Amino acid sequence: MTRLWLVRHGPTHARTMVGWTDLPADLSDVAALARLSAHLPAAAPVISSDLSRATATADVLPGRRRLPHDRDLREMHFGRWEMRRHDEIEAETPDLIRAFWDRPGEVRPPGGESWHDLCTRVLAALDRLQGLAPDVIVVAHFGPILAALQAAENLSAEEALAHRIDPLSVTCLVLGPAPQVLAVNHHV
């Protein structure tokens, strides 16, 4: 049984759909980062998405063994919607973007991936971490954290997406045959 300490990367301040675009995180709140580091298990190894907002956030958790970045922990790929505002997309393809949010699952942005695609990719990455250590810190994104929560609580996609996951928050859970959710969107 491995406890996964899922940390959402620092804020990007973007007001667009940011998936695979490599935006930096704002890590200027040194006090918040110190509280986060102190809250997380000191002996736990750290793994992150390969996007710089996640790797930079993981790098400010000192004294922990760093595992190689995992591309499968990336945010959802929004395809042609990437870095565009919701209202711009809705003006072009209102039915598609409404279906994407109202009935998440199989609906894909043009050139992007569906919620189910994201979940399959992320859960495979988290499964590879099972048994690695009693605790593993995973610095990732909104979508991957919700995918893990969906699996742990056996939620529908709609129920999972209704959760809030703030930058630098911690969601702690155990996946597997006896899943447990220990914290969601916890601020330290």
Question: What is the chain's pLDDT, residue by residue, as a tens digit (188 residues)?
Answer: 899 999 999 999 999 999 999 999 999 999 999 999 999 999 999 999 999 999 999 999 999 999 999 999 999 999 999 999 999 999 999 999 999 999 999 999 999 999 999 999 999 999 999 999 999 999 999 999 999 999 999 999 999 999 999 999 999 999 989 999 999 999 99
Q: Contact at 8 Å (CB) between 81 and 109?
A: yes
Question: pLDDT tens digits, residue range 110-160?
Answer: 999 999 999 999 999 999 999 999 999 999 999 999 999 999 999 999 999
Q: Is 130 helix (H, G, I), strand (E, B) or coil?
A: coil
Q: Contact at 8 Å (CB) between 34 and 168?
A: no
Give the total number of structural domains in the chain: 1
DSSP 8-state code for residue 168: T
- DSSP for 54-122 reads HHHHHHTSTTSPBPPP-GGGSPP--GGGTT--HHHHHHH-HHHHHHHHHSTTT---TTS--HHHHHHHH
**Domain containing 148 — which CATH number?**
3.40.50.1240
**Could you tell me which residues come within 8 angstroms of residue 25 by beta carbon, excluding any fewer than 6 positions away?**
9, 10, 11, 12, 52, 53, 54, 56, 57, 167
DSSP 8-state code for residue 18: -
Q: Contact at 8 Å (CB) between 108 and 19?
A: no
pTM of the model: 0.97
Host domain of residue 25:
3-186
